[in-house]
Amino acid sequence: MRMSWVLLAVVVFTSLVTWSSQAAEAPATVYVTFWFDTEDFILPQADDAAKRLAEMFASRHVQATFKIVGEKARVLEERGRDDVILALAKNDIAYHSTLHSVHPTPSEYCRDLDWHEGVSEFIRREGEGLRTLRRVFGVNGSCYGQPGGSWTPQSYAALREFGIPLYLDETSHVNVKDRPFWYCGVLNILRLGDCVIRTGWTDDEVKQACTRFDKAQEQLIREGGGIVSIYYHPCEFVHEQFWDGVNFSHGANPPRSQWKLPPMKSPEAQEQAFGAFEAFLDHIIARPGVRLVTAREIPTLYPDRIYSHPLTRSDIQTIAKAFRKEVSYVDLGTRIASAGEGLLALCAAAQSPDGSIPGEVSLEFAYGPASAPQLFITEGKFPWSDFQQAAREVLEIARASGQMPSLAWVNGQPVRPEDLAVTLAAALTAESRQGDIALQKGELAAKKYVSDDRPGLWGWVILPKGFSAPHMMELAKLQVWTIKPAVLRTTK
Ligand SMILES: [Zn+2]
């Protein structure tokens, strides 16, 4: 009897050890998001392509995200395609602009606008299609992605107004190391490098895409988990050429009466395309450790923990030390502060009357500045109380307007936020804050995460030839105060 109890204990112990070591070794989950830019409101057969893809996912009890153009939602209703609307509604519904390629597109109309005017104009133009989407599908869009390469920084503040928490697309305007990131308080899946995978339509291409997927999964497991982004357009399964290319290329803007239908694939080529995609989808679904997620689920995977509890004294010291090397986002171990969050934390930490660093400070979200100052000082010596006053004003402005000021004022002198950031960092890491403190010159290193305005950036065939947007990309660089990598829930 006693022996059998001992034996049982040994068996239980051994199996517990085996179970726990297996649990520790279980590879990280790799999330995969499939999204379809559902935009062709000209070719009626594109409606059927969207329905077929929507049903392909539903029949496998998984979901894709359909980013739908407002005008597409409207014509589905006008054509009486309730069957397509219902098939799409079994998946996730997201937003893809009011009119997509009809000029002016977002980059065109925001090109020379300032921050606030651009935000208002984006809300006015793109709010219309979003209202159509909400009316037809009865839900808000789960995410937004720009038409083609027509990206604008002002769209982000509009998305927050729209209650859309995720920007899902593939473009090189902003990028943090080819992984998900925060920008303007919106989560971005915008540039995933090796984790964006598509297949062509031949059997060989499917095989190669499956191999690329397996490699991406292995890489993400090594990183402790992550997300793969796979995108298509329903219309590309049935057409030979994009609907907008044949009508709106290089700034062309024909009236509706002159819109042309794009050429179609042969029925055999269409079947080959759907078949190839289906094989690719089935390969991914069958992979152990893979989970399909929609845009609606993604924000839950990447919580921003910077606002969930106050920053500690040790966090403030980490930020100050990091800012002495470069003004960019700061990894605090379990969460990450953007440069702007770091600056506001230092401004709050500078408020103690006795000069000590407080035990904790709380943050509220603020956009980067709306403009870059032309006139400012970069040297001079001032008492700590002048910097405390400047920091207090920065906090007041950020809290009142939800946006960082373009300038701080130190004893009546204009000072850039990056210079204030490195000066506060130096002062708060010094032994004491007695005597005059020298203003230091800082550079916003995080600017490297926004592309310069270069010809290749605006290669979308719909944009007018030679399109550039230097002012808009400068505005985009001001918003890097808000940029930081997004941390996957399961990794930290
Ligand atoms: Zn599109």
pLDDT in tens, 400-429: 999 999 999 999 999 999 999 999 999 999
- From ligand 1's centre to the CA of 111, what distance in Å? 19
User: Could you tell me which residue, 387 or 14, shows the higher pLDDT?
Assistant: 387
d(CA 67, CA 143): 8
- From ligand 1's centre to the CA of 37, what distance in Å? 5
d(CA 280, CA 203): 10
Residue 20 has pLDDT above 70, yes or no: no
Residue 26 has pLDDT above 90, yes or no: no
In degrees, to the nearest 5, what angle opens at C-alpha 229 toward C-alphas 202 and 25?
105
Position 432 scores a pLDDT of 87
- From ligand 1's centre to the CA of 400, what distance in Å? 36
- From ligand 1's centre to the CA of 120, what distance in Å? 22
Residue 10 has pLDDT above 70, yes or no: no
Residue 15 has pLDDT above 60, yes or no: no
Fill in the amino acid letter for 198.
Answer: R
Position 305 scores a pLDDT of 95
d(CA 129, CA 58): 26
- From ligand 1's centre to the CA of 369, what distance in Å? 30
pLDDT in tens, 270-295: 999 999 999 999 999 999 999 999 99
- From ligand 1's centre to the CA of 150, what distance in Å? 9
Query: What domains appear along the chain, each with residue ranges and CATH number?
Result: 30-301 (3.20.20.370), 311-446 (no CATH)
- From ligand 1's centre to the CA of 202, what distance in Å? 24
- From ligand 1's centre to the CA of 101, what distance in Å? 8
User: Helical H runs in 42-153?
Assistant: 45-58, 70-78, 82-89, 106-110, 115-137
- From ligand 1's centre to the CA of 69, what distance in Å? 8
pLDDT in tens, 47-106: 999 999 999 999 999 999 999 999 999 999 999 999 999 999 999 999 999 999 999 999
| pLDDT confidence bin for 13, thresholds 50/70/90 | very low
- From ligand 1's centre to the CA of 244, what distance in Å? 9
- From ligand 1's centre to the CA of 453, what distance in Å? 22
- From ligand 1's centre to the CA of 145, what distance in Å? 8
Residue 17 has pLDDT above 90, yes or no: no
**DSSP β-bridge partners for residue 403:** 367
Position 490 scores a pLDDT of 75
- From ligand 1's centre to the CA of 452, what distance in Å? 23
Q: Which residues contact 360 (CB under 8 A, 6 or more apart)?
A: 310, 311, 312, 313
- From ligand 1's centre to the CA of 68, what distance in Å? 9
- From ligand 1's centre to the CA of 372, what distance in Å? 32
- From ligand 1's centre to the CA of 39, what distance in Å? 6
| pLDDT confidence bin for 491, thresholds 50/70/90 | very low
pLDDT in tens, 210-223: 999 999 999 999 99
- From ligand 1's centre to the CA of 413, what distance in Å? 47
- From ligand 1's centre to the CA of 146, what distance in Å? 7
- From ligand 1's centre to the CA of 175, what distance in Å? 19
- From ligand 1's centre to the CA of 9, what distance in Å? 62
- From ligand 1's centre to the CA of 207, what distance in Å? 26
Fill in the amino acid letter for 258.
Answer: Q
Average pLDDT, the chain: 95
pLDDT in tens, 182-192: 999 999 999 99
Residue 1 has pLDDT above 50, yes or no: no
- From ligand 1's centre to the CA of 103, what distance in Å? 14
- From ligand 1's centre to the CA of 116, what distance in Å? 25
- From ligand 1's centre to the CA of 55, what distance in Å? 21
Q: What is the mean pLDDT of residues 328-338?
A: 96
- From ligand 1's centre to the CA of 151, what distance in Å? 11
d(CA 255, CA 128): 20
Concatenate the DSSP letters of all residues of 158-188 into one string.
HHHHHT--EEE---SSB-BTTB-EEETTEEE
Q: Are 479 and 156 spatial neighbours (Cβ–Cβ below 8 Å)?
A: yes
- From ligand 1's centre to the CA of 91, what distance in Å? 18
Fill in the amino acid letter for 302.
Answer: Y
- From ligand 1's centre to the CA of 462, what distance in Å? 11
| pLDDT confidence bin for 5, thresholds 50/70/90 | low
| pLDDT confidence bin for 161, thresholds 50/70/90 | very high
Q: What is the mean pLDDT of residues 466-488?
A: 98
Residue 455 has pLDDT above 80, yes or no: yes
- From ligand 1's centre to the CA of 242, what distance in Å? 10
| pLDDT confidence bin for 22, thresholds 50/70/90 | very low
- Take residue 166 and report the two structure tokens written for it: 């995720």
- From ligand 1's centre to the CA of 414, what distance in Å? 43
Residue 345 has pLDDT above 50, yes or no: yes
